Amino acid sequence: MTLLFLLLGCASEDGACSVADGEGTVTVDEVTADASGTWIAQGSSVQINVTAGGDLAGGRMTLRLQSTTDGATAVDALEAAAFPVTFALGVAEQGAALWYAPQATASHAATDAAPGGFSVTAYDGDTLEGCFAFVGEASDGTQVQVTDASVRATPTVVGP
């Protein structure tokens, strides 16, 4: 699993994961597009909703961060602000990732057979930034590769 975190494709020249110019991007099966996101804390977990634009317009992802690879809850890890903070995607009790292609009726999920990774690089009490990658598999066995992905997520507005 450590290898995947080293392969996150949004690394800067010094090897650290970063969100280029504060904007998010996502690459799905070698198609790259801009991406925007929102996040919400749900108990001790954090859910990030990512919306793709450009050639992937209408595509979306749901990322659920539960506990870090060191065992801290997502909310506690954000509050501790010791970045980067890493999560395994597709591993029970750690994190989940789903890709919904434009006009698709099925989703592709990260699995524990080939877990992905999410690295939170910044959180200022409002905006959350991070990079991620995963292989998603649908119930029919088809796969998608999500690589070179980054997101700058703002809080989800709840209420009127």
* Partners of residue 97 on adjacent β-strands: 63
For residue 73, what pLDDT is reported?
Answer: 96
79 Ramachandran zone, left/alpha/beta (phi>0; psi -120 to 50): alpha
Per-residue pLDDT of the chain (160 residues), as tens digits, is 333 333 344 444 444 566 766 578 999 999 999 999 999 999 999 999 999 999 999 999 999 999 998 899 999 999 999 999 999 999 999 999 999 999 888 899 999 988 999 999 999 999 999 999 999 999 999 999 999 899 999 998 765 6
Buried b (16+ CB within 10 A) or exposed e, 40-73: eeeeebbbbbbbbeeebeebbbebbbbbbbeebb
What span, in angstroms and rounded, lies between the C-alpha atoms of 85 and 100?
25
Q: In this structure, what are the phi and psi dihedrals at residue 140, rounded to the nearest 5 degrees?
A: -85, 5
What span, in angstroms and rounded, lies between the C-alpha atoms of 34 and 47?
19
Q: Which tokens is 33 given?
A: 């597009």
Cα-Cα-Cα-Cα dihedral of 153, 3, 108, 54, to 10°?
A: 50
Contact call for residues 84 and 120 (beta carbons, < 8 A): yes
For residue 69, what pLDDT is reported?
Answer: 87
For residue 104, what pLDDT is reported?
Answer: 82
For residue 159, what pLDDT is reported?
Answer: 58
For residue 22, what pLDDT is reported?
Answer: 58
Domain residue spans of the chain: 2-155
Centre a 10 Å sphere on the Cβ of residue 76 and count the other Cβ atoms it contains: 13
